[in-house]
C-alpha cells in the first residue's frame, strides 16, 4: 500500500480545491482496495503481490526488486502445453478464458464519490461538480468586489428541475429585496442558492441555484434586460437530450478503459475496443451536432 499511497499523493498535487483533495484520496484508496480484492480472488495473494511489485516498484530505486518479481511471475505462470498445441495458441486461449474476464471486471470498477452512499456518483463527476461550484463562488465574489448590486441569472432550455424556478430572475448581492427601476422584482441571491438537503448518510449539502453541476451563470443586471421563458415541454425534451449525451460519453469512456486494460494482454480485443471507442465518440459528436449541442472532449478523456 505504500506505493499506492505514493501514486495517489502524486495524482492530487495539482488539485487546488481542498474538499476535492480529501475526497480524491478517500476514493482512490477505496478504488485500489476493490481492484486488489478482485485480483486476489482470481489469481491468489502471492501472484498479486508479485504483480504489484513488478508494476509499481520504482525503476530507479528498486530495479532489482522489479526484476526479481517479474522473473518469479514468469515461473509461477509457466504452463505445461497440451500435446500438439502451439505456445501462441495456448497463451491466447488462456488469456481469453482466464485473464480477459478479470480485466473486464476491473474495468467496470470506477473510482466513486466517497460521500455518495448510493454508489452511483463517480469521482470524475464529483470533481466536475466541485470545480463548477468553486467557480460559482469565485464569480459571485468578483461581482460583489466590482460593486454590482443586482444580477440576473442566465437561462438554458435543458435546465434541471432544481434550478428551473430560479433561472431568468433578478437577484441582489447585498441581501435586499425590492423592485428594479423597470419594474422587475428581485430577492437576495441566497434565497435561491441556500437550499439545503440531507443525504441518507447524514451529510448536509447546499444545492440550490449555482449548486453542484449547475451550468447557470450570473451577469450584472441593467434596466431593460429580459431573458426568455422556456416552455416546460421544451425543458423536458432538452433534458432527455442531455441525458442521452451523458450516456454516450459513458459508452466512450467504457470502451477506452477496456482498450487500456487489454493493450498488452490481447491485441485483437484491444483493437476491437479501440475501434468501438472511436465509433461511440463519432456517435457522440454526431448526436451533439444534430441537436445543436456542444460536445466535450474532456468528458470522454481517460487519464
Query: What pLDDT sits at residue 6?
Result: 80
pLDDT tens figures, 287-301: 999 999 988 888 898
Q: Which residue would you say has higher pLDDT here, 154 or 69?
A: 154
Q: How does DSSP classify residue 99?
A: I
Range with the poorest average pLDDT among 20-24, 197-201, 232-236: 197-201
Contact of 82 with 74, CB cutoff 8 Å: no
Average pLDDT of the segment spanning 199-224: 83
Which of left, alpha, beta for 99 (phi over 0: left; psi -120 to 50: alpha)? alpha
Query: What pLDDT sits at residue 140?
Result: 92
Verdict on whether the full-model pTM lies above 0.75: no
Please give the grid coordinates belonging to residue 224: 431593460
Q: Which residue would you say has higher pLDDT here, 161 or 107?
A: 161
Q: Which residue would you say has higher pLDDT here, 98 or 251?
A: 251
pLDDT at 247 over 90: yes
Each domain of the chain, given as residue ranges in start order, spans 2-107, 148-230, 233-299
pLDDT at 142 over 90: yes
Query: What pLDDT sits at residue 97?
Result: 65
Pairing of strands 185-188, 218-220: unpaired
Q: What is the number of other CB atoms lying within 10 angstroms of the CB of residue 56?
A: 16
Nearest in space to 286 (alpha carbons), one of 252, 235, 236: 252
Average pLDDT over the chain reads 79
pLDDT tens figures, 8-36: 888 888 888 888 888 888 888 888 888 77
pLDDT at 235 over 70: yes
In sequence order, the β-bridge partners of residue 139 are none
Amino acid at each position: 500500500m505504500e506505493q499506492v499511497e505514493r501514486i495517489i499523493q502524486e495524482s492530487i498535487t495539482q488539485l487546488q480545491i481542498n474538499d476535492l483533495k480529501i475526497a480524491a484520496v478517500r476514493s482512490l484508496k477505496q478504488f485500489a482496495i476493490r481492484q486488489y480484492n478482485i485480483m486476489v480472488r482470481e489469481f491468489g495473494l502471492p501472484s498479486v503481490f508479485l504483480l504489484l511489485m513488478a508494476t509499481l516498484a520504482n525503476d530507479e530505486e528498486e530495479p532489482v526488486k522489479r526484476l526479481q518479481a517479474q522473473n518469479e511471475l514468469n515461473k509461477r505462470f509457466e504452463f505445461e502445453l497440451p500435446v500438439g498445441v502451439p505456445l501462441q495458441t495456448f497463451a491466447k486461449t488462456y488469456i481469453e478464458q482466464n485473464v480477459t474476464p478479470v480485466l473486464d471486471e476491473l474495468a467496470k470498477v470506477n473510482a466513486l464519490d466517497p460521500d455518495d452512499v448510493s454508489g452511483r456518483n463517480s469521482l470524475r463527476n464529483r470533481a466536475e461538480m466541485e470545480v463548477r461550484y468553486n467557480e460559482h463562488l469565485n464569480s459571485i465574489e468578483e461581482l460583489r468586489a466590482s460593486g454590482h448590486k443586482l444580477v440576473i441569472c442566465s437561462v438554458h432550455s435543458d435546465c434541471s428541475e432544481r434550478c428551473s424556478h430560479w433561472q431568468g430572475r433578478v437577484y441582489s448581492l447585498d441581501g435586499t429585496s425590492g423592485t428594479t427601476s423597470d419594474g422587475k422584482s428581485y430577492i437576495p441571491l441566497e434565497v435561491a442558492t441556500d437550499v439545503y438537503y440531507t443525504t441518507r448518510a447524514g451529510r448536509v449539502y447546499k444545492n440550490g441555484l449555482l449548486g453542484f453541476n449547475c451550468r447557470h451563470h450570473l451577469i450584472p443586471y441593467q434596466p431593460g434586460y429580459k431573458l426568455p421563458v422556456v416552455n416546460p415541454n421544451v425543458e423536458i425534451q432538452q433534458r432527455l437530450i442531455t441525458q442521452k449525451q451523458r450516456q454516450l460519453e459513458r459508452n466512450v469512456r467504457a470502451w477506452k478503459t477496456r482498450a487500456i486494460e487489454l493493450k498488452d494482454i490481447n491485441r485483437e480485443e484491444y483493437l476491437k475496443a479501440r475501434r468501438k471507442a472511436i465509433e461511440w465518440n463519432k456517435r457522440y459528436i454526431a448526436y451533439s451536432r444534430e441537436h445543436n449541442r456542444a460536445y466535450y472532449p474532456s468528458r470522454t478523456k481517460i487519464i
